[in-house]
Amino acid sequence: MKLLIRKLARSTTEAEILAMFETHGIVQSCNLVLDQQTQKSKGFAFVEMPRPGEAKAAMKSLNGKEVAGSLIRVKKA
């Protein structure tokens, strides 16, 4: 299941996102979207988790969580 994570603080790294989701299960891929010119975060990312149950648990647990001063939004992509 592919998840979209929005409202990320610009300082949040791909490694931090990966660590958050790995606590809920296997993460197949994690992709923080970067601006092509500045190479800085655009404030959203995609995480793919192969097991739907783990993905739903991560979505429920992390949606609305404060990360680096920003309340993130997690939903199915």
Residue 3's pLDDT is what?
98
| 57 is a domain residue | no
Residues of the domain holding 29: 1-34
Q: What pTM does this model have?
A: 0.93
Residues 6+ apart with CB under 8 A from 62: 5, 20, 21, 24, 72, 74
Mean pLDDT (the chain) is 96
Rounded CA-CA distance 67/54 in Å is 20
Model confidence over 6-29: pLDDT tens digits? Answer: 999 999 999 999 999 999 999 999
Model confidence over 49-60: pLDDT tens digits? Answer: 999 999 999 999
Q: Which helix (H) or strand (E) holds 74?
A: strand 73-76
Provide the domain count of the chain: 1
Residue 58's pLDDT is what?
96
| 41 is a domain residue | no
